[in-house]
Amino acid sequence: MTDATQGRVFGRTQLEDMVIVPLFALVAALVLGAVVMAATGVSPATIAQSYVALLKGSVGSVNAISETLTAALPLVLAGLGLALGFRSGLFNIGAEGQIVVGGLAAVVAGVALGDMSAFIALPGALLAGAAAGAFYAGIAGWLRAATGAHEVITTIMLNLISFRLLDYLLRTPFIQKEDRADPISKSVPDAAELPKLLTFLDANLRLHAGLFLTLAMVAFAYWLLFRSKLGFEFRASGENAVAARFAGMSAGWTIVLAMAVAGALAGLAGANQTLGILGRATPGFSAGIGFDAIAVALLGRSHPVGVFFAGVLFGALEAGGRQMQVDAGVSIDLIGIIQSLIIVFIAAPLLVKAIFPWGFRKAGKRENKS
Amino acid sequence: MTVLLDKARQRQTRITGGILIALGALIAVFLAPDSSGVATFRLSRPTDVWPVPNLVVPGGAFVYVASALLAFFGVRLFLRGGARWSARFLGIGLIIAVAAFLVWATAGKSFSLTGMLQASLVRAVPIALGGLAGVLSERVAVVNIGIEGMLLAGAFTGALVGSLAGGLAGLAAAVAVGGVFGFVLAALVVTYRMDQIIAGVFINLFVLGLTSYISSQVFQEYRALNNAPVFRAVEIPVLSDLPVLGPVFFSQNIFVYGAFILAGLATYYLFHTRHGLRARAVGEHPRAADTLGIDVYRTRYVNVTIAGMVAGFGGAWFTLGSVGRFDEGMTGGRGFIGLAAMIFGRWHPVGALMAALIFGFADSLQQKLALLGTPIPSEFLAMAPYIATIVVVAGVVGRARAPAADGKPYVKE
């Protein structure tokens, strides 16, 4: 095989990997989603209507695109952190708790810095969110490094602890909104809010400056993983921890730092929610984002750019799903089914080939030849 | 290498000692001053066949003795090391601390100990069965993050089929559907070589999506489909009349008995039968097992499917064993706690069961303490078991070893 043909084949499999497989997965998941709807007695006309609504609600208008991106931002941020952990060989299930802690810390810092100018208050609040998330995840990292406690258990427990901690802290005098008996935090002052970006078009568009933060973090995660010494150490200890140790890398520090960076990103996802959309912290404001982000990180193959697109896809389904529920009366829970099916079709190419043997003939032939 | 290990162990012992000293100090400073008065623990109801007198403990004295004991254990561990004893001391220490806490909370009041223990077992059931499902699949080196989804599938199927065809049919269907998802997991990771964690996440998301969708799309309209009968407690003759032990162990529903029986069966299967030995060989070194003529793929399929059936049975507890009605996402992370119980129990069925009982105990303790009206915010009581888990996992289990091939796909040559 000459270099030229090799190059071409490589190009084709790349295209297949990056574009055709995800596209196919999306279509197949939508078809199966329709089957589920039909099985529960939804009429064909309503099925068609609901998919039109799905498209309309995700990319059909400026508002739809704004909603898609708004839903995608926290998924991408938390997903980046998880991807970093996966690359370092750490299975961090704790993004949900880190989002809670980070989001709450951002609100507290925002309230404390509310009288300052936005140039201090907003970065301060974001930094507080990242720091709190990093600290919280760092606990699990430190426990793993110092005592060998499995991070799956510790992060699950830290998630559960964070929910209770949030409920408690939301009732404490400094955080609770004045004159309220229910657990709800003070509102984030304007100076610490992530400014809305598209209000010049329509005051209701929710897309906010977290978009820039997210894009910057995608670039940062890429640089960290593939261009920095630290990222090399992360990946090395993820690929082969023993070899990394013999190469003189400190296993303990690598674990703590990898967890802390992952926690900082999840903390930013929390801050993104409280400072950008909600304007306050309430019980359960994390809304399962940390768990969806696991799927996003896996779907994006733990690559920062992949995570970004996976997050946007999930955000689009989320935004479209809401429209679907309104327009066609089909429960938004259908989106969960579609998301899970997309994951299967993307993550199990062998399964796809088994179902559609004619679809990926070229790649198959190449394998047979070599 | 041994020097390194010794050092790590020494540090672990130090940490354990430090934790015990801190616990002792906390108890002496915060709990002891206001535990005056006697704490009364009710052990039996007046209607019992063999009533036993209440357990009466003098509050202050007990709490001071407890804190002194904790401090003694802690200092001893800290100064003299002795890694062999650190796990035992930590276990005993935590039990003493919990007892002191209970006495403090009950001082001047009375409290039904038997009732709390009974509730502990009930709450431990889904966690134990989830943990058991984890043990069965990880012993053949298939990481099973999908337990949560399998529990949920069991709960849903139990409610649906239970409403249509009665409790037993519902239970059978829940077990079958759990098995189906176990089989799906096996197919994805064994035949289609999908990443095991992604496959588990898929199962969780898929089951959550599907059950929530049907529940909001169909159950809302046809409520009769979501109204299953509940299995009542089965009193075991004579034994259920025993004081304390009777109500706790012998007057429960089939799910509690099932969890105990299954843990015993799984232990027998894994450690005392030929098939169990083969399963463990596949988990530790699939290549060697294959060389010896064990069908690695088949073994994984069979064990993971059985694990799914166990999880399906555990899932049915949520509907057929308690409320008879399915709610969206009603498993509430119990599958993940089951996973923690599995690691906590060192990948052993009985260990997982014990760990689940500790979680169940903490859960029901927290519920009952809220009734006693302690000055500690209820959120902190709710947190305590999770913090204790972290402490125990860091201090005792530490470097527990998973099956060697855990999580790795196997490709036949």
Q: What is the Cα–Cα distance from A73 to A217, expressed in whole angstroms?
A: 11
Q: Do B390 and A154 touch (CB under 8 A)?
A: yes
Q: Is B404 helix (H, G, I), strand (E, B) or coil?
A: coil
For residue B39, list its beta bridge partners: B57
Q: Do A347 and B194 touch (CB under 8 A)?
A: yes
Same domain, B156 and B97: no
What number is the average pLDDT over the span B402-412? 80
Same domain, B26 and B41: yes
Q: Does B229 touch chain A (CB under 8 A)?
A: no
Chain A residues 174-233 within an 8 A CB cutoff of chain B: none
Same domain, B104 and B71: yes
Is A253's pLDDT higher than 50? yes
CA closest to A353 among chain B residues = B192
Please check whether residue B395 lies inside any domain of the structure: no
Answer with the residue of higher pLDDT: B411 or A263: A263
Q: How many domains does chain B have?
A: 2
Closest-CA distance of chain A to residue B155, Å: 18
Please check whether residue B225 lies inside any domain of the structure: yes
| Closest-CA residue to A300 (of A96, A80, A11) | A80
Confidence check on the interface: ipTM exceeds 0.85, yes or no: no
What's the mean per-residue pLDDT of chain A?
86
Please check whether residue B409 lies inside any domain of the structure: no
What number is the average pLDDT over the span B220-248? 84
What number is the average pLDDT over the span A163-192? 89
In the structure, what pLDDT confidence band is assigned to residue A7 with cuts at 50, 70 and 90?
A: very low
Q: Is B242 left (phi over 0), alpha (psi -120 to 50) or beta?
A: beta
What number is the average pLDDT over the span B277-288? 91
Same domain, B40 and B24: yes
Q: Is A152 left (phi over 0), alpha (psi -120 to 50) or beta?
A: alpha
Q: What is the Cα–Cα distance from B124 to B100, expressed in whole angstroms?
A: 23
Per residue in B85-115, pLDDT (tens digit) is 667 777 788 888 888 888 888 877 778 888 8
Q: Which helix (H) or strand (E) holds A167?
A: helix A151-169
In the structure, what pLDDT confidence band is assigned to residue B42 with cuts at 50, 70 and 90?
A: confident
User: CA A148, B406, A134 angle in degrees (round to 5)?
Assistant: 40
User: Taking the CA atoms of chain A, what radius of gyration do you get in angstroms?
Assistant: 22
Task: List all residues 6 or more positions away from B237 whose beta carbon is below 8 Å from its beta carbon.
Answer: none
Q: Do B380 and A298 touch (CB under 8 A)?
A: no
Same domain, B196 and B323: yes
Q: What is the Cα–Cα distance from B302 to A343, expressed in whole angstroms?
A: 25
- Domain endpoint, select from B41, B73, B108: B108
Instruction: Please give the residue range of the domain that contains residue B16.
Output: 2-108
DSSP code, position A186: P
Return the top range by mean pLDDT from A21-25, A216-220, A245-249: A216-220
Please check whether residue B384 lies inside any domain of the structure: no
Q: Is B38 helix (H, G, I), strand (E, B) or coil?
A: strand
Please check whether residue B289 lies inside any domain of the structure: yes
Per residue in B149-199, pLDDT (tens digit) is 999 999 999 999 999 998 899 999 999 999 999 999 999 999 988 888 889
Please check whether residue B402 lies inside any domain of the structure: no
Q: Does A330 touch chain B (CB under 8 A)?
A: yes
Same domain, B44 and B99: yes
Token pair for residue B113?
């100990």
Q: Across the interface, which of B12, B213, B398 has its CB nearest the CB of A334? A: B213
What is the number of alpha carbons within 13 Å of residue A326 lying toward its C-beta? 10
Q: What is the Cα–Cα distance from A369 to A108, expressed in whole angstroms?
A: 62
Same domain, B164 and B252: yes
Chain B residues 385-404 within an 8 A CB cutoff of chain A: 386-387, 389-390, 393-395, 397-400
Please check whether residue B51 lies inside any domain of the structure: yes
Is B404's pLDDT higher than 60? yes
- pLDDT for A370 equals 33
Same domain, B87 and B233: no
What number is the average pLDDT over the span B378-402? 73
Q: Do B380 and A168 touch (CB under 8 A)?
A: yes
| Closest-CA residue to B228 (of B345, B344, B138, B326) | B326
- pLDDT for B366 equals 78
Tell me how far apart the terminal alpha carbons of chain A are, to the nearest angstrom: 9
Q: Are A172 and A161 a contacting pair, CB within 8 Å? A: no
Per residue in A266-304, pLDDT (tens digit) is 999 999 999 999 999 999 899 889 988 988 998 888 899
Q: Does B382 touch chain A (CB under 8 A)?
A: yes
Q: Do B192 and A350 touch (CB under 8 A)?
A: yes
| Closest-CA residue to B212 (of B315, B328, B318) | B328
CA closest to B213 among chain A residues = A333
What is the number of alpha carbons within 13 Å of residue A176 lying toward its C-beta? 13
Same domain, B120 and B94: no
Same domain, B102 and B189: no
Per residue in A55-104, pLDDT (tens digit) is 999 999 999 999 999 999 999 999 999 999 989 988 888 999 999 999 99
Q: Does A154 touch chain B (CB under 8 A)?
A: yes
Task: List all residues 6 or more positions away from A149 whose beta carbon is below 8 Å from its beta carbon.
Answer: A140, A143, B390, B393, B394, B397, B398
Please check whether residue B410 lies inside any domain of the structure: no
Same domain, B140 and B222: yes
Token pair for residue B16?
């354990």
- Mutation target to probe the A interface, by most A beta carbons within 10 A, among B12, B336, B406 is B336
Q: Do A336 and B379 touch (CB under 8 A)?
A: no
Same domain, B64 and B182: no
What's the mean per-residue pLDDT of chain B?
85
pTM (predicted TM-score): 0.86
Is B2's pLDDT higher than 70? no
- pLDDT for A247 equals 78
**In this structure, which long-range contacts are made by residues B78-84, counting pairs with CB atoms below 8 Å and at least 24 apart in sequence?**
B78/B13, B78/B14, B78/B17, B78/B18, B78/B21, B79/B17, B81/B10, B81/B13, B81/B14, B82/B13, B83/B9, B83/B10, B83/B12, B83/B13
- pLDDT for A367 equals 41
Token pair for residue A241?
């921890």
In this structure, the strands spanning B38-42 and B251-252 are unpaired
- Domain endpoint, select from B64, B84, B108: B108
Q: What is the Cα–Cα distance from B41 to B58, expressed in whole angstroms?
A: 11
Chain A residues 290-309 within an 8 A CB cutoff of chain B: 294-295, 298
Is B19's pLDDT higher than 70? yes
Closest-CA distance of chain A to residue B76, Å: 20
Q: Are B132 and B260 a contacting pair, CB within 8 Å? A: no
- Domain endpoint, select from B92, B108, B124: B108
Q: Does A30 touch chain B (CB under 8 A)?
A: no
Q: Does B210 touch chain A (CB under 8 A)?
A: yes
